[in-house]
Structure 1
Amino acid sequence: MKVIKVGTRKSKLAMTQTQQLVDQLKKLHPERDFVLVPYTTKGDRLTHVSLQEIGGKGVFVKEIERALLAGEIDMAVHSLKDMPAKLAEGCALGAISQREDVRDCLIFRQAGQTLADLPEGALIGTSSIRRQVQLQAQRPDLAFKPLRGNIDTRIKKLEEGEYDAIVLAMAGLNRLGWLDQSRLHIQPLETSLCLPAISQGALAVECREEDEELRQLLATVQDEKTAAEVAVERVVLAQMNADCTFPIAAFAQKNGQDYQLEAMLAKEDGQCVFVSLKGQDGQQLAEQAVRQLADKGAVGMPWLKK
């Protein structure tokens, strides 16, 4: 029985979360062997420029998808938030695993601080426009400076005094064990304060569309609730013709047959527009959310489909 080659980005977070997912597969299928194949993507190499400047859509997945289609690997594990709404032709989502904490968080250089009591003009590190506009809605006096690189690098820059606080995803910190370290001064940002990126906290396993045997194996780690929720969020992504670099957010929660969907779009003047909807048809709910965002002032935004 052949070894299954698993593509992943080379960062510590990507390698860790890929190994965690492979461990789930091994537990269910102890007869199968897996090997990780790391890649350095365009998004990983060009950390000195913004993601918007280097192409936005798929900068963390395109090279891995090419390797998948070329047969160099059999499957790949991605942070679903990094994946464009449309996959490369010939690729398919084999599974979406159980979602981690969806929230963002602030990490402060000094203990005992919160967003509310940061000094006026405090410098916040983030390269996410989505995060910036939502925090500015609460604290318009704050200053922002781009921050890219892996989690360890970002935390080091904070501790060296380059920023007063930085914004990171709780999911990544938890997967790397950072939340167990008391040296970090963390304030989780509730979704009512900062809506997460579309699909934040969810991992996706990508494989070749034609590989039916592997797809059946991957389906065993699928979390149906997570898959249903992120599917609704990704309709918003597709309808807006957007990617993870755009100032949009969507968070769907499924309870029984009902979906609760919160969505946000930042207008060109930086103002955040929010909608909140509830219903049983996730597709229709997402499409309705996009229409309502447009009705509230998003008309003419460059990333909205004409």
Structure 2
Amino acid sequence: MTAGKAPQKSLKIGTRGSPLALVQARQVAADIERLSGGDVVGEIVTFTTGGDKLTTERLINAGGKGLFTREIDAAVDDGRCDLAVHSLKDVPGAIPDGQELLAYPKREDPRDGFITVNGIKRLADLPEGATVGTASLRRESQTLALRPDLNIVTFRGNVQTRLRKLEDGLAEATYLAMAGLTRLDMAHLASPVPVETMIPAAGQGIITIAARPDALDSDIVALLRKLDDPMTRLAATAERAFLVELDGSCRTAMGGHACFHDDLWKFSGEVLRPDGSERWVEHGIAQTDASEDEMTELGRSAGERIRAAAGGNLPAYEDD
């Protein structure tokens, strides 16, 4: 160690142990070290969450949203970890008391990726009666809305597991988030689905850094806030407001997406019946200089209009 130089400070970063989650956490650790000039380093601490333990069952049958974050949230609360790195689409609308989503690094591609093993690039080109594998109620409902003739089977597991199931012939096609594939250098495997065709899950393509500010030194909190991308934060704000307004859970097929295009913020949100037979879609815009409060209202009001259009009660998946 150089004489007179203070020792490095280590921050314990909680994350799932999947290949994708590790890539995301390691990038956050690298950014922390870079922004601190090497004074702060990240120590990755992995967790097997309730969601990771599911191999065939739907999330909606095992507790829904939060299954991929609860164990890590608990470790942040009790001090085993200093911060957590989550995929935002896995984070429930209500986070643990005392925790804060301190930063949203720049968003990756928010679209869904359509993958087959036979070269077919579009859902529309699958043969009649083909089988599509997905564990997402949103993707299932959107698929059936577009192609009611198709069969859906449950595909659970990380990226590698789902690709292996596809190669084993359990389905002719599946979906994976383009963001995850890009971070794993696997984007070439998929054909991006336009947002206009399938509205992504709220927060898809965004990672977030969660922590308890009252448990960290103020200089560390300031450092973590430097990881924030202002445009990504605004998009996340609108999408999570939409989620909260509709009390979004894995029992309701819904997607919400905000983007900055043609000098305007544009929001699209939808809710579908689980079988895809009916869908409610709402759009909204906000000005270039929209504040976080205005982005909250953008997402919230779209959700309010959808609830009204659906007669006040959102269609939800029911167990057989």
- Give me the TM-score of the superposition, normalised by structure 2: 0.89
Shift of 1:291: 2.1
2:89 touches 2:203 (CA, 8 Å); kept in 1? yes
Q: Deviations over 1:223-257 (max 9, x none)?
A: 00000111011001111112356311110123597
Give me the whole-angstrom Cα distance separating, in 1, the residues matched to 2:46 and 2:100.
Answer: 20
Q: Is the 1:197–1:250 contact (alpha carbons within 8 Å) kept by the matching residues of 2?
A: yes
5+ long unaligned stretches in structure 1 = none
Cα displacement (A) at 1:3:
1.2
Q: How well do the aligned residues superpose, as a CA RMSD in angstroms?
A: 1.7
Q: Does the Cα contact within 8 Å between 1:78 and 1:204 map onto a contact in 2?
A: yes
Q: 239-248 or 129-138: which moved more?
A: 239-248
In the other structure, the counterpart of 2:61 is 53
Distance 1:28 1:268, change over 3 A: closer
Instruction: Tell me what 2:191 maps to.
Output: 187
From 232, 237, 241, the counterpart of 1:231: 237
* 1:253 equivalenced with 2:266 (yes/no): no
Aligned runs of 1:76-225 on 2, under 5 Å?
76-180=84-188, 184=189, 186-210=190-214, 211=216, 212-225=218-231
Choose which of 3, 8, 29 in structure 1 pairs with 2:15. 8
Q: Tell me the alpha carbon deviations over residues 28-84 of structure 1, each in whole angstroms, 9 at most, x when there is no partner.
A: 112212110000011111223211111112111111111111111101100011001
Within a 5 Å distance, the mapping from 1:2-81 to structure 2 comes to 2-29=9-36, 30-81=38-89
Q: 1:106 to 1:272 in 2, by over 3 A?
A: same
Separation (CA, whole Å) in 2 of partners of 1:88 and 1:257:
35
Matched residue SS, 1:44: coil
After TM superposition, the score normalised by the length of structure 1 is: 0.93
Change (3 A) 1:26 1:226: same
Q: Give the percent of matched residue pairs that are identical in Structure 1 and Structure 2.
A: 35
Query: How many residue pairs get matched?
Result: 299
CA contact 1:265–1:298 (8 Å) conserved in 2: no
Gaps of 5+ in 2: 1-7, 288-293
Partner Cα separation in structure 1 for residue 88 and residue 62 of structure 2: 19
Q: What letter matches 2:195 in structure 1? A: T
Deviation at 1:153, TM superposition (A): 0.8
Q: Which of 299, 305, 308 pairs up with 1:286? A: 299
Contact 2:145 2:275 in 1 (8 A): no
Compute the displacement of 1:218 (Å). 0.5
Q: Is the partner of 1:42 in helix, strand or coil?
A: coil
Q: Distance in 1 between matches of 2:254 and 2:280?
A: 9
